[in-house]
Structure formats: structure tokens, C-alpha cells
Amino acid sequence: GTVILVPMGPFCPWEIGWYLAHGQPRQALRRFSRNGAPAKIGAAVIPIWYPSAGRLRADFAPWFTHQETHSLELWLPPSYLDHFVNRWPGLFRRLNRFENATARLTGGWGDHYIIVFKRN
């Protein structure tokens, strides 16, 4: 069988830049927390982890073989920053082409990434 995951990665340059520019360094660096970043879901607060592609490859290695990894939203902003895309559509069309051309080369960086495993 095949397993396809789309986790949030630990390194999202747009998110880091956005929150640092707005004076929120904790929010900017939350994905690097070893204890998970707290997220409020209804009345509960739960920890959220942002595993690297390397971490998932190691965790799945005994039972699965890594097939491929594609970065998502490394050069393009996360959806909550889509007002940038609306303001400069030409720039983001070019960045979209660059993102598509480099998605397999960037090691799972970005807001999300796709990682594919095949059962041993």
C-alpha cells in the first residue's frame, strides 16, 4: 500500500517573516518548538507538532520506503496571506511557476509538504 501525508512543515518563511514584521516572534518561531505549539480548538488547548520530512522518513523507515517529497507554499504565501497575491498577481504567477519547478528540490520546506511512502 501507499501512504500519502500532507503535514505542516517546520519551516515556512512567509509565516516567519509575517509574524516577525508584526512583532510576534513567538508566533513566528512556533513551528520549531520541541514541545509542540499550543492551538486552541473550541475550549481545549492542544499541542501541534510540525514534523520535518526527515523526521517522518526516519519514523516510517522500518515499515515504509520513502518515494517522494514535494514542498507546498514555500515561495508562495499561506492562504491567510492571499491579499499579497491579489495585490501583485504578476509576481505571484512567476513565483508559482518557480514553486512548481522546485517543489521536489526543497526538502519539505514551506507551509505544507506532500510526502509519499510505499509499504515494504
Please tell me the predicted confidence (pLDDT) of residue 107: 86
Segment 100-118 shows an average pLDDT of 94
Say what the pTM is: 0.88
The angle subtended at Cα 83 by Cα 78 and Cα 85, nearest 5°, is 75
Distance CA 113, CA 52 (A): 9
Residue 9 has pLDDT above 90, yes or no: yes
pLDDT digits (tens, 9 = 90+) for 67-81: 999 999 999 999 899
User: Are the C-beta atoms of residues 116 and 65 closer than 8 Å to each other?
Assistant: no
Residue 15 has pLDDT above 90, yes or no: yes
Cell representation of residue 20:
516577525
Q: Residue 34's pLDDT band (boundaries 50, 70, 90)?
A: confident
Parallel, antiparallel, or unpaired for β 112-119 and 37-41? unpaired
Tell me the average pLDDT of the chain. 95
Q: Which helix (H) or strand (E) holds 72?
A: strand 64-72
